[in-house]
Structure 1
Amino acid sequence: MAPTAAYDEIADWYEHEFLSAQRQNDPLDLAGVLQELLGEGREPCLEIGCGTGVHADRVRGLGWVPVGVDLSAGMLRHARGRLPVVRGDAGRLPLRDGSLAAVIAVMVHTDMPGYPDVLREAARVLRPGGIFVHVGVHPCFCGGFADRGDPDAVVIGPGYLDGHWTKASWTDRGVRDKVGATHRPLPELLHSFMAAGLAFERFAERGAPTPTVLAVRARKDPGVSG
């Protein structure tokens, strides 16, 4: 996981300042992408890296029962009023094999250096045929190598192919200069899904004119248990 102490230290800032504008207008259309890829349901849906629980209402609005897991006690202080939560490591989920119909990870994969392990855990706790939805920053256009200071002309510098953890960021008003980020090039990220036993079904991008978000809907092989 990302440096937990760092998220504990910035939890109040994240909740009260960073998220305030996003709650008002959903600039990345996260509600739309969850509706498109997760769809409607009537069972518990686990959010990995739920943070302050800001996505719970979107999940609940689709009929699912949101539950969350996160490693940061500071973030969970804000989440507890929004959904049931447990403090835990996404790489070792405190859940039984095949116990869930749906798992989501929203804008968190760059916080998790061990994301391939997280994907394997997501697959483990999904029942055969269960859905996993990944919504993350676009690996091709976001990261320490991308200067997004001008949204109409994103400048890509060296570093995309490297795969690394960095605090480099084009803005000091965001999260990454505070807690850092792990970057994986697109092929490496997608291969991690396949290695976990998750079969791709749909993809989506959000953000214009250069995408900010890449989202994936994958399904656990119905013939695989545990």
Structure 2
Amino acid sequence: MTSTGSPAPYDEIADWYETEFLARRTRIGLGAADGDPLEIDRALAELLGTPPSDGAACLEIGCGTGVHAERVRALGWTPIGVDLSAGMLRHSRGRLPAARADAARLPFADGSLPAVLAAMVHTDMPDYPAVVREAARVLRPGGLFVHIGVHPCFCGGFADRGDAEAVVIRPGYRDGHWTTASWSADGVRARVGATHLPLPALLAAPLAAGLALTAATEGGTPTPSMLAFAARRQSREAQ
């Protein structure tokens, strides 16, 4: 787990995640090898973009094994990370410098970072709005927060994605809840569960944290499986 709570579930699956799950994602067309079908790379390029100065730090919260570090580095940022799971962090060595820490209690000073990234992790966090508030705290004025995650409207225990051409949405979307229900028994969610936030609650999180939404995008076909947005901490003059 990558925020408040026990890290045990991710510690238990860390080796499987690194050696089997990531390799299978590539084989079945969910990795960079087949052209970024979830459009995570595109969202990073569009929303995170290039840094204000070469090599500026971008903190990834819930960085896990560091699978996004190479993409962040290619944009000109210096990726750093935090995660609660020591097992996942063990596999991040060599990908980015990272520390074991709770995303809701970041070991960084107020206003100290130019960018914070949350990539495909918000469903792992029991109180994601608290995590976003903490991200806003450590951002410097004008700093950028980028969220990339599974699409709240089309992914979750209520969404049957067993047929890639026809996602079936069942009752339960509006109920914020934790569940291990998943269309695939071979994925992460069936092993560690997921916390669901409906779209309004997800978009309200950066606004409540004092961030200003600046851009958004979706990815995946034929029904979007990814939703991403960018938000900035307002400068002192704008507050």
The TM-score normalised by the length of structure 1 is: 0.97
- Unmatched 5+ residue regions in structure 1? none
Matches within 5 A, 1:170-181: 170-181=183-194
Matches within 5 A, 1:184-195: 184-195=197-208
Partner of 1:27: 37
In the alignment, is residue 112 of structure 1 matched against residue 149 of structure 2?
Answer: no
Aligned residues: 225
CA apart distance, 1:29: 2.1
The TM-score normalised by the length of structure 2 is: 0.92
Partner of 1:205: 218
- After superposing on structure 2, the runs of 4+ consecutive aligned residues of structure 1 that deviate more than 4 Å are none
Q: State how far apart, in whole Å, the 1-side matches of 2:148 and 2:211 are.
A: 15
CA apart distance, 1:16: 1.2
CA apart distance, 1:209: 0.9
Q: State how far apart, in whole Å, the 1-side matches of 2:134 and 2:175 are.
A: 26
In the alignment, is residue 143 of structure 1 matched against residue 156 of structure 2?
Answer: yes
CA apart distance, 1:3: 4.5
In structure 2, the residue corresponding to 1:218 is in which secondary structure?
strand
In structure 2, the residue corresponding to 1:6 is in which secondary structure?
helix
Match among 115, 129, 139 for residue 142 of structure 2: 129
CA apart distance, 1:149: 0.3
Change (3 A) 1:125 1:152: same
In structure 2, the residue corresponding to 1:123 is in which secondary structure?
helix
In the alignment, is residue 36 of structure 1 matched against residue 46 of structure 2?
Answer: yes
Partner of 1:17: 20
Change (3 A) 1:206 1:3: farther
**RMSD of aligned residue pairs (Cα, Å):** 1.3
Q: State how far apart, in whole Å, the 1-side matches of 2:32 and 2:84 are.
A: 23
CA apart distance, 1:172: 0.6
Partner of 1:54: 67
CA apart distance, 1:35: 0.3
In structure 2, the residue corresponding to 1:95 is in which secondary structure?
coil
Partner of 1:5: 8
In structure 2, the residue corresponding to 1:79 is in which secondary structure?
coil
- The one-letter amino acid of 2:38's match is L
- The one-letter amino acid of 1:39's match is G
Identity among equivalent pairs (%): 67
- The one-letter amino acid of 2:22's match is L
Q: State how far apart, in whole Å, the 2-side matches of 1:144 and 1:190 are.
A: 20
